[in-house]
Amino acid sequence: MRQVERAIFDLRRGLPVVITGRAGWMLARAVETGEDDAQGELQKLAGSRPALLLARPRLVALGLGERLGKAEAGSLALPSALPRRRLAELAFGLGADEGESDLVVPGALTPAGFAERAALNMARRALLVPAVLSARVAHARLEAVREAVAEGELLAVPEGPAAECLNGARGRVRRVSEARVPLAEAAGARFVLFREPDGLREHVAVVIGSPGQMTEPVPVRLHSACLTGDLFGSLRCDCGEQLRNAVAELDSLGGGVLLYLAQEGRGIGLANKLRAYALQDTGLDTMDADHVLGFGEDERHYGVAVDMLSALGVRQAMVLTNNPDKLRALAAGGVEIAGRQALYGSLNDHNHRYLSAKAERAGHWLDEVLDTRSSRD
């Protein structure tokens, strides 16, 4: 996996990487971080014309869902070099404020193969838009590319481990450091930092009281980081209020664990969350905005949360959540779910559509808080 981790960093830096597999060698380069002539450079290096790899949600947004069939991703032929702005429009809707209907798809669409899907997964893991330029290495260029790999000019990764990079490395999360951090809502809090093995993510367990000495079930809250809401008090969501309410509630219950997970924007990262906000301002809801960028409705994985709870000695939990996916993920990871407690923020004119979409489309248990709006209308 070490090579895959290095390759993810290279994609973030705008460099091409090699993905090897049964179908041969393929060069991949993220559209978001590529240079102006990324397409031409990739063609010269691979000896074949690049294609544009896009995830299913983005292709559906472009009106290509029926042509894709049931495939998770597609490879869009690029008949000639396109300006970078044009590539960006096709890839993740930088021109979305002008309307996606203005985009003309340039070439044939075929279902993406295993190596192509692996490249898109690596882009997601890098918190980039899942849009990748790919080119199969032609026989005439194979020796030159192999030499570049041998000399360290290019990184080569097998398609299997690359495809699995989103799943993380269960059981390998490291407990790195900890300290007492008194909080306004819980003066006895202690922060414990965990780091994922690839070094890309760090997560914090806010331990209130002594959960290891508590009679189980231990009150637990899984909170995905939200810079805009947690730190700046954004009215577009209820995250900041939920965070503070959760800490206060855990303290009032005599202790518990809040896992502060590096999963900004339901796992798509801050840059993409801000892109999604811009799309929401055109009338899309939070789910559809993520789809336009090529993401699913929720890109989070909770294996790291299971590992953190295990490291803290929590085997049975009473979970503070409105999200059924969190309960399912913890249970699937071996945590015994003893119960659930709702946790609400305040409803306002700015977050009503966001909360309604989560309730109606993702099944979040928010009827009680949404009913307060109905009773006022």
Contact 115, 137 (CB under 8 A): no
DSSP string, 235-262: SS-SHHHHHHHHHHHHHHTT-EEEEEE-
For residue 44, what pLDDT is reported? 95
Tens of pLDDT, residue by residue over 22-32, are: 999 999 999 99
Tens of pLDDT, residue by residue over 284-296, are: 999 999 999 999 9
* 51: phi then psi, degrees, rounded to nearest 5: -120, 165
End-to-end CA distance of the chain: 54
Q: Give the position of tokens 């960093």.
A: 9
With bands split at pLDDT 50, 70 and 90, how would you rate the model's confidence at 174? Answer: very high
For residue 212, what pLDDT is reported? 67
Q: How far apart are CA 38 and CA 280, in angstroms?
A: 30
Residue intervals of the chain classified under CATH 3.40.50.10990 are 174-263+300-376
For residue 372, what pLDDT is reported? 64
Contact 157, 18 (CB under 8 A): yes
What mean pLDDT is reported for the chain? 91
Cβ contacts of 121 within 8 Å, gap of 6 or more: 162, 163, 164, 165, 166
Q: How far apart are CA 223 and CA 308, in angstroms?
A: 13
Share of the chain above pLDDT 90, in %: 76
DSSP string, 158-176: EHHHHHTGGG--TT--EEE
Which CATH class, in words, describes the domain spanning 2-167?
alpha beta
pLDDT exceeds cutoff 80 at 341: yes
Catalytic residues, which ones?
Answer: 298, 300
pLDDT exceeds cutoff 80 at 176: yes
Q: Which residue has the higher pLDDT, 95 or 155?
A: 155
Contact 306, 205 (CB under 8 A): no
For residue 97, what pLDDT is reported? 42
Q: Give the position of tokens 């489309």.
A: 361
174-263+300-376 fold? Rossmann fold (3.40.50)
Give the range among 198-202, 209-213, 263-267 with minimum mean pLDDT.
Answer: 209-213
pLDDT exceeds cutoff 90 at 303: yes
Residue intervals of the chain classified under CATH 3.90.870.10 are 2-167
For residue 170, what pLDDT is reported? 64
Tens of pLDDT, residue by residue over 229-249, are: 999 999 999 999 999 999 999
